[in-house]
Structure 1
Amino acid sequence: MEEFIMIHFLASDLLPVISEARTRQCRIALVKDHGVYMLSEKGEMENGRRRVIAWAVECNPDTVPFDNWWERARAEFGGDDFVEYLDGDAAAFDRVIAEGADLQIEADAGYLYINAVATRS
């Protein structure tokens, strides 16, 4: 039986990203490189970096030890870095806004599964 590992994004972190993407009428990028995070495809820069970023709880290099976030990201998404573009108007993002739902993401060889879930306590 295959074990599923999930990555979570908190609604409070995602709201500014969703708002920026909808305001700029662009997609939301899910990125795996130095951690796992989401950001608006077109966003404001500050000191050469994107100003608005939502880190995955389990893969935030600022709060999780390197070996832990790196292994979690590799286990869920594989070893290669990537960017996957998501529709900023997707129903899951609507639930983040309307209900304060968090997002849960899991992946297999061909698909990303993105679900809005009750806020984690």
Structure 2
Amino acid sequence: MLIFKNAILKPVMEELQEKGGNLLFVKDSGIYLMAEKGAYLDGHRLHIAYADDFDPRLPENEDWYENAGLEVGYDDFGESLGQDFWGTFITQVIHQGCDVFIEVSENQIQAGYIKP
């Protein structure tokens, strides 16, 4: 199970609420969520929400790649998740401080929120 902490996910969800579009679930250099229509600063996304333990920029996550392979497979991907997916937990993230979890299986992606 992947956990996305509220402190880093909330800015992404606020971008979704403001600009619309899809939530992108990505595995390449780390595992993260970002708004399809998110803002850029100096050519880089301003808001990216890495899953706990899967941010390759942090030294404590040095084995993120092996763990990511076990969690979601070794191939890089980008899944576009529409409002029918992220709309089920946006209010809880923005207004209630909830974290989000995502579970990936061979056939589906499921998500929910965790109350603080």
Per the normalisation by structure 1, the TM-score is 0.85
Q: Name the counterpart of 1:117.
A: 114
- CA deviation after TM superposition for structure 1 residue 76, in Å: 1.2
Following the alignment from structure 2 to structure 1, what is the Cα–Cα distance between the partners of residues 21 and 40?
Answer: 16
Superposed CA RMSD in Å reads 1.4
The amino acid across from 2:78 in the alignment is V
Moved segments of 4+, more than 3 Å: none
CA 1:86/1:94 → structure 2, altered by over 3 Å: closer, same or farther? farther
Kept after mapping to 2: 8 A contact 1:17/1:39: yes
- CA deviation after TM superposition for structure 1 residue 111, in Å: 0.6
Q: Mind listing any 5+ residue stretches in structure 1 that lack a counterpart? A: 1-5
Per the normalisation by structure 2, the TM-score is 0.88
Q: Mind listing any 5+ residue stretches in structure 2 that lack a counterpart? A: none
Following the alignment from structure 1 to structure 2, what is the Cα–Cα distance between the partners of residues 117 and 100?
Answer: 9
The answer as to 2:61 corresponding to 1:65 is yes
Following the alignment from structure 1 to structure 2, what is the Cα–Cα distance between the partners of residues 24 and 41?
Answer: 9
Q: Secondary structure at the match of 2:37?
A: coil
For residues 66-85 of structure 1, the aligned pairs below 5 Å read 66-67=62-63, 69-85=64-80
Match of 2:47 among 39, 47, 52: 52
Kept after mapping to 2: 8 A contact 1:93/1:116: no
Q: Name the counterpart of 2:92.
A: 95
Paired-residue identity, %: 33
Kept after mapping to 1: 8 A contact 2:53/2:61: no
